[in-house]
């Protein structure tokens, strides 16, 4: 079965430090991978996606993600965290077995400490 996992419910990072939010996936075929962010009482906003090409994908707000096929991971990263990056982050993957619908991880809450 296609799946995506976010192993950490919460990540705490000091402002100015680099941050990583982890995501692993299990899919058949070539993965289409996504990251979304959700601020309090708002919908999800698209950050970035990987379909093909360079393993390092750059997205909105200075975020990037590294696709690692051998480790089946797609970790979200940012070199220097801002307090305003505090939010809920969702990793997602295309499910080829379900008409290409996108399935979401359970989310990781990121706290940036001032």
102 part of the interface to other proteins, by CB under 8 A = yes
Interface characters, 25-44, with other proteins (x: CB under 8 A): -------x-x-x----xxxx
Burial of 70 (0-12, 13-18, 19+ CB in 10 A): exposed
Cα 104 vs. chain centroid, distance in angstroms?
A: 10
Burial zone of 109 (CB within 10 Å; 0-12 exposed, 13-18 middle, 19+ buried):
middle
Say whether residue 58 binds other proteins (CB under 8 A): no
Nearest to other proteins of 8, 15 (CB atom): 8
As measured in angstroms, the least distance from the Cβ of 17 to other proteins is 27
User: Using CB under 8 A as the criterion, which residues of the chain lie in contact with other proteins when the complex forms?
Assistant: 32, 34, 36, 41-46, 49, 51, 90, 94, 99-102, 104-107
């Amino acid at each position: 079965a296609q799946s995506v996992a976010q192993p950490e419910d919460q990540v705490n990072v000091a402002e100015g430090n680099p941050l990583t939010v982890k995501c692993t996936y299990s899919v058949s075929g070539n993965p289409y991978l996504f990251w979304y962010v959700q601020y309090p009482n708002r919908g999800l906003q698209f950050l970035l996606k990987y379909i093909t090409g360079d393993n390092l994908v750059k997205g909105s707000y200075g975020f990037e993600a590294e696709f690692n096929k051998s480790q089946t991971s797609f970790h979200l990263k940012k070199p220097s965290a801002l307090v305003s990056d505090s939010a809920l982050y969702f990793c997602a993957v295309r499910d080829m077995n379900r008409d290409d619908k996108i399935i979401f991880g359970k989310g990781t809450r990121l706290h940036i400490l001032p």
